[in-house]
Structure 1
């Protein structure tokens, strides 16, 4: 078995497509804003984006538009300088946290969400 990528299931596909393509700058390797599925590549990883309704239908589930806000996953990105990336992105995204040192973890982090509500974290290792 080989894990090939992470797929996010979203209700607002087009908005999320533009977020990952235009805000985060990921390269589209398959799909477009109208395909309801796309693959993005960045730093050797693949992120799939799929309309949640179609995934629910594919697995025989009943689609419900409202889903409870419970974070069960987060996308984590290492950066060289959290403060610099925070300043660069703060006009593009709404951060949940400002750059914060997590001394017990040895990192500095900041968090935000994509348009579907997926939790994202940027972090840098702290010099001890």
Structure 2
């Protein structure tokens, strides 16, 4: 059976995103390539990777970087022990949230939503108790 091994975000601000996922979110980088063009973060059985958008365009033979859109097409979902504690910690780091901690009873989780330095939507979640 095929296995999902990695989600790769194509970013323009590699250094900003690397710092965000490492220092603010607290994920451990695999290679420590702060300036890029590529790094992976350990997240359990699947990795979150960052890759410079223009280099991915070159890798697939595109003459231009892929067009970006203002509409969200993906969400980076990160499980945490306590959404409220994570919200407080990230807010102290200057992170602005697009949605505060909210009970999602239909989903049976509590979530908070923010954006990384490249504008990707990030969801923090923990189980409702």
Residue 108 (1) aligns with residue 110 (2):
yes
CA offset at residue 31 of structure 1? 4.8
CA gap 1:77/1:96 in 2 versus in 1, 3 angstroms: same
Match of 2:73 in 1: 72
Aligned length: 127
TM-score calculated relative to the size of structure 2: 0.87
Query: What stretches of structure 2 of length at least 5 have no aligned partner?
Result: none
Where structure 1 has 5 or more consecutive residues not aligned to the other structure, the ranges are none
Report the alpha carbon displacement of residue 2 of structure 1 after superposing the two structures with TM: 3.3
Say whether 1:62 aligns with 2:71. Answer: no
Question: Is residue 2:85 matched to residue 1:84?
Answer: yes
Name the structure 2 match of 1:125. 127
Quote how far apart the aligned CAs of 1:65 are: 7.8
Query: Alignment partner of 1:83: what SS?
Result: helix
In angstroms, what is the RMSD of aligned CA positions?
Answer: 1.8
- The aligned runs of 1:87-98 (5 Å cut-off) are 87-92=88-93, 93-98=95-100
User: 1:77 is paired with a residue of what secondary structure?
Assistant: strand
